[in-house]
Amino acid sequence: MSALTEQACEACRADAPTVTEEEKKQLHPDVPDWELVTLDGEEQLQRVFKLKNFAEAQAFTNKVGDLAEAEGHHPAILLEFGKVTVRWWTHKIGGLHKNDFIMAARTDQLFNG
């Protein structure tokens, strides 16, 4: 697991810069299963997690929700039968911050752990 999992999110101001292209190139290999997507003009990290059934998907969703609440950084989560789609981005800045890569890595850790 990457060193990102050892990091906590930092408080993010509305005027904080989004990650640069160079920072994305450095951070994205630590979360290779996450896609860089743009929705409503905002760049986001997205991953679809496959699970056996609705109950397992719901339990994983709850773990991600608990992690988000503990860090004060909240994703978009879509819960379906046997599938959970998670999207991380920083709402305040309308794009990606290092926090999003940290949370993606920590979400992977929940799934793999």
Number of domains in the chain: 1
Structural domain of 35: 31-112
Find the Cα–Cα–Cα–Cα dihedral 26, 83, 66, 46, rounded to 10°: 30
Rounded CA-CA distance 58/82 in Å is 9
Instruction: Look at residue 3 and tell me if it is in a domain.
Output: no
pLDDT at residue 7 tops 90: no
Q: How confident is the model at residue 1 (pLDDT cuts 50, 70, 90)?
A: very low
Instruction: Look at residue 1 and tell me if it is in a domain.
Output: no
Q: How confident is the model at residue 2 (pLDDT cuts 50, 70, 90)?
A: low
Instruction: Look at residue 10 and tell me if it is in a domain.
Output: no
Determine the distance from the C-alpha atom of residue 8 to the mean position of all C-alpha atoms in its chain, rounded to a whole number.
Answer: 13
pLDDT at residue 81 tops 50: yes
Q: How confident is the model at residue 13 (pLDDT cuts 50, 70, 90)?
A: confident
pLDDT, average across residues 106-111: 96
Q: Are 31 and 37 contacting, i.e. CB atoms less than 8 angstroms apart?
A: no
Q: CATH number, domain at 37?
A: 3.30.1360.20
- The model's pLDDT over 14-71, given as tens digits with 9 standing for 90+, comes to 888 899 999 999 999 999 999 999 999 999 999 999 999 999 999 999 999 999 999 9
Contacts (Cβ under 8 Å, ≥6 apart) of 73: 9, 12, 88, 90, 99, 100, 103
Instruction: Look at residue 101 and tell me if it is in a domain.
Output: yes
